[in-house]
Amino acid sequence: MSLVEEKLIIPEPDFISGLNSEQKKAVMNMDGPLLVLSGAGTGKTKVLTTRLANIIHSRKASISNILCVTFTNKAAFEMKSRVEKILKQPVEGMSIGTFHSIGAKFLRKHSSLMEIKNDFTILDTEDQLRLIKQVISFLDLDPKIFVPKSFLYMIDQMKNYGLSYDEITNHEFEHKTKGKLSKVYKLYQQRLKTYNSVDFGDLILLPLKILRQNSEISDFYNKKFKYILVDEYQDTNAAQYMLLRLLSSERKNICCVGDEDQSIYGWRGAQLKNILNFENDFKGAQIIRLEQNYRSTGNILDAASSLISENKERIGKKLWTSDPTGEPVEVINLENDEMEAFFVSEKIVNLQNIGVKLSKMAILTRASFQFKDLEDRFIRENIKYKVVGGLRFYERAEIKDALAFFRLLIKSDDNLSFERIINIPKRGLGSVFLRKLNDFAKKNNLSLLDSLRKYLETETLSKGPRDNITMFLKVLDKHKEMLKNKDHFEVAGALLDDIGYTDMLKNEKTIESEGRLENLKKLVVDIRSRSTLNEFLDEVSLLTDVSNEREGTEKISIMTLHSAKGLEFDYVFLPGWEEGIFPNQRSLDENGNKGLEEERRLAYVGITRARKKLSISFVNFRKQYNYNVYRSIPSRFLSELPKKNCELKLNQSLNEKRINKIDHIKSSEFSVGTLVKHDDFGEGKVLGINGKKLQVKFKKFEEIMSIFSDFVKKQ
């Protein structure tokens, strides 16, 4: 008889049986550093929750010894609920939540080490901005030069990098502000401490400082958290990355789930290198690729894989599906932006007619200014829609402001419009002044605008407000006069410039303000197609006079590509695939190839949102901000799609040369974006290629010129 008895083998839990082989590996390999590269639609949430459940089920760690980090509170709640459903028991006591919620909890426990009380207030963006304005005023800096919103953005970015005010001496922001950033940052932090407050950046930066400076606390948390799980690892910034490194330094049982091909938040501090360098950062790390897709058809996946394979900064994977090939990806060329909106609306109506619900469809754009043509068409066609992650075009503050200026220009007794814009940009005319003016208007039976003129003549005002009112009236009167002999669309654009509104947005120097400027440009451009400003305003009023539908009403979703991450729809439309729009020209100009690769990842995200059918469109001509119609160049991303998986539908008016453009956007000698020089025309940039012919935008000329490559040379 053997002295060593055979042990009882417990079968694996039933919740693991439904996983594919790679998913099972990710769930069962619980010890040591692990990176799960989870492609779109490959079941990452299922893997994360099942792995979490398995750690608890196998008694590797108690619930309180697990740290699980997500990027949204919704994701944290969903993960916790799923684990409880799998285990059929509550999982209270687990540290699960966003980086910020976990950071806040940590900071309240150890706040004394940062010389703040544990009942500190977390300031929202509005309060942060108010504090920054106080600091800039205290330092006697001109807010027109040292813009508060810009400083708030820069301080936030510094915190994303894990940098305190005394660590930014050589940073480009410090040089850009001539050494003022560190001063503003330092005083801002001092004021935060005085008010017993922190901002969102502090919720990561301060715990990071505590862990670095206090080995005892660092050791405690390293022992406490036996297992760490991180979702959306490709979206982590430098400070979050450093926090994870510190918390996992002893046991190294860290599992990060992410997809380098869906890293699209570089503009807000996310570092792609965090996921690319995982193997180097965590020695002995395993990498498991989840490539079996459960969402999309074969044609959609092949299109996505072909496109993203052009990126150099990636670890690499190829999505596949056991489902049918499905319909080819539709790539359609249309004459102009209005026809594009018409095409999309017609497709939607046809899908509705065969029983497809609006909630199963989505339109994903590169920028929000693209919404307008679509919204106008949907309102005319009575297609119910919702804007996800933002406001409808005509509900945005900058659009309402612009329309108020335009209405006041042609209708001086529009008191509502007057009240909206009298102190935009700031003129020192607050609520107290407006109350006085309203009383004055009632007493004299005048409109607010006419009352303002009379008030200026009869009442005592300090120099600042008086000068501001005088200038406001002067600009308004000037543009009223201009309407008599100039084109109405030119007057509209000039009014926003001269009144100081566009400068106000430009001075903010934020991504949000740039988007608002684009929306204004789109609005002004569309005025051109109406015979008068009054006609345009009447039409807008009719478009926006739409009764509120019940919450349960079926609607199609319109959103930007950034808002679409994590979502999926049966039918997806991707309009505006043209150079300059997508890829975005600003992204290319500011970030070069890095920007191009992030734009391509955005395209990949867009493609992989579709389950059954994908339609991509581009146009020949599109209205631009300077009121002209420009010939568009097809996006280079179109030439990266595989022919065998796509169906190209070209405008019937196009000739053979136009057809070739999609296939020949890339060239061995020149490529889109190449800087060139012509002996007569000077310097320019290549925007498109058709065989030996280049589409070039020269600095000297408004138009895009078609020219043989023999006549230019690379710069």
Active site residues: 44-45, 231-232, 262, 609
Among 97, 68, 100, smallest CA distance to 257 is for 68
Question: Is the peptide bond preceding residue 583 cis, with omega within 30 degrees of 0?
Answer: yes
Among 672, 678, 603, 687, smallest CA distance to 641 is for 603
Phi, psi of 569 (to 5 degrees): -145, 155
Among 125, 174, 164, 172, smallest CA distance to 148 is for 125
- For 203-238, b/e burial (b = at least 16 CB within 10 A) is bbbbbbebbeeeeebbeebbeebbbbbbbbbbbbbb
Distance (Å, whole) CA 579 – CA 633:
6
392's CB contacts (< 8 A; 6+ apart) are 371, 375
Phi, psi of 424 (to 5 degrees): -125, 120
Tally the residues of the chain: 715
Distance (Å, whole) CA 502 – CA 475:
14
703: left (phi over 0), alpha (psi -120 to 50) or beta: beta
Find the Cα–Cα–Cα–Cα dihedral 84, 90, 93, 94, rounded to 10°.
Answer: -10
Residues 292, 44 contacting (CB under 8 angstroms):
no
For residue 569, the surrounding DSSP H or E stretch is strand 569-574
Whose tokens are 């008010």? That residue is: 195
Distance (Å, whole) CA 363 – CA 344:
9
Q: Bridge-partner residues for 694, per DSSP?
A: 689, 707
